[in-house]
Amino acid sequence: DAGVTQSPTHLIKTRGQQVTLRCSPKSGHDTVSWYQQALGQGPQFIFQYYEEEERQRGNFPDRFSGHQFPNYSSELNVNALLLGDSALYLCASSSTGQGAGGYTFGSGTRLTVV
């Protein structure tokens, strides 16, 4: 049973460009949350998707947007990249029926903005 799959694993972009990161949730999970983890810090909540809609959002600018597809997979899009967007982006999936204890994290996408 595959866990949470994220792609790509590493990415290098130039300032001002746009990037799309992808996440496939664990089998049976219907909710996807995205987190940004800067070097030396804990993960910070970006947003959560459920039933193809953004259900909750953290303190991130509108340059960060997302999407959830009917198969529950999700994308994170970041426009007009800044150097400060360099971080590990983590996807976590969960199931409505499991409550808060069922989060499973992927291994992340390491984004470097130059």
Partner 1 sequence: AQSVTQPDIHITVSEGASLELRCNYSYGATPYLFWYVQSPGQGLQLLLKYFSGDTLVQGIKGFEAEFKRSQSSFNLRKPSVHWSDAAEYFCAVVDLPNTNAGKSTFGDGTTLTVKP
Binding of partner 1 by 24 (CB under 8 A):
no
Q: What value, to the nearest 5°, has the Cα angle with vertex 24 and ends 20 and 29?
A: 135
Which range of residues in 12-20, 64-72, 74-82, 95-103 is near partner 1 by CB under 8 A?
Answer: 95-103
CA distance 100 to 67: 22
Query: What residues between 33 and 62 interact with partner 1 by CB under 8 A?
Result: 33, 35, 40-45, 48, 50, 55-56, 58
Q: Are 47 and 66 in contact (CB under 8 A)?
A: yes
C-alpha atoms less than 13 angstroms from C-alpha of 19 in its C-beta half-sphere? 24
> Whose Cβ is closer to partner 1: residue 17's or residue 40's?
40
Q: Are 109 and 87 in contact (CB under 8 A)?
A: no
Interface with partner 1 (CB under 8 A), residue from 24, 31, 68, 74: 31
Structure tokens that stand for 110 in this block = 């390491």
The residues that touch partner 1, with contacts defined as CB under 8 A, are: 4, 31, 33, 35, 40-45, 48, 50, 55-56, 58, 90, 92, 94-96, 98-103, 105-108, 110
